[in-house]
Amino acid sequence: MTDNDLAERSRERVADWLAALRERYDGFERVEKRWELAPDAYERDRERIAAGANGGGGIWVTNDDGEVLLVRNEGDEGWADPGGKREAGESFEAAARREVREETAVRATITGLREAHVLELVDETDPRRPSLASLIAIFDGEYAGGDPRPREGEIAAAEWVVSPPEAVLYPEVADRPYPASE
C-alpha cells in the first residue's frame, strides 16, 4: 500500500469512527488538531495506522468530591487526562479504560463522550509526505475504584485536582469543568 493510499484509508477510518461515535453518544465536541511530528514519530504513527492500531482514548475522570484525575508524563511539565494509544481491534472505550488503569491504577466507568480530537499528522521535515488522520476520543467518566499511583517509567505523577493546574499539556485540559471548584 502506498503512503497516499494509507493516508486516504486513515481519513476514511476516522470518518467511520466519528459516525459510529455519533450513533452512541450525544453532543460531544469535535476538536481539529494538526500535529507536526519529527520524522521518526511520523513513521511510528504511519506503522501503527497501517497495522490498524490508529487512534487512542482517555477519560476525564471525576470522583464523588468533584475532583478530576490528571497525570503528568515523565519529561513533561503539563498535566493532562490519563489516556493513550488504541491497540488493533480495541474499541476507543476499552482503550480509554485500559490506559487510565495502566497509567494511574484507577478504574473508571465511562458516562459519555466529551470530545473527539480529529488529528492531522504531518512530517515536520518533509511536506511531500501525505498527512495521516487519527482520532482520540476523550470520554467523561466516574471514579470506580483504586488509589492513584503513577505508572513507573511513563507517568511522573497521578493526582486528584480541584482546579486546572497552571501548566497543561493541551488547552482543553484547562477549559473543561472542574466540579470541585464550582
Q: What is the pLDDT of residues 96-152, one digit of tens each?
A: 999 999 999 999 999 999 999 999 999 999 999 999 999 999 999 999 999 999 999
pLDDT for 17: 96
CB 14 within 8 A of CB 133: yes
Write out the H or E segment, with its range, that includes residue 14.
Answer: helix 3-24
Domains for the chain: give ranges and CATH numbers.
Answer: 3-181 (3.90.79.10)
**% of the chain exceeding 70 in pLDDT:** 100
pLDDT, the chain, mean = 96
pLDDT for 130: 96
Residue with cell 495502566: 102
The residue among 13, 15, 138 whose CA lies nearest residue 84 is 138
Nine-digit cell at 86? 488504541
Q: What's the whole-number mean pLDDT along residues 170-178?
A: 96
Nine-digit cell at 177? 469543568
- As a whole number of angstroms, the distance between CA 21 and CA 16 comes to 9
Residue type for position 169? L
The answer to pTM > 0.85 is yes
CB 141 within 8 A of CB 109: yes
pLDDT tier at 182, thresholds 50, 70, 90: confident
pLDDT tier at 1, thresholds 50, 70, 90: confident
pLDDT tier at 54, thresholds 50, 70, 90: very high
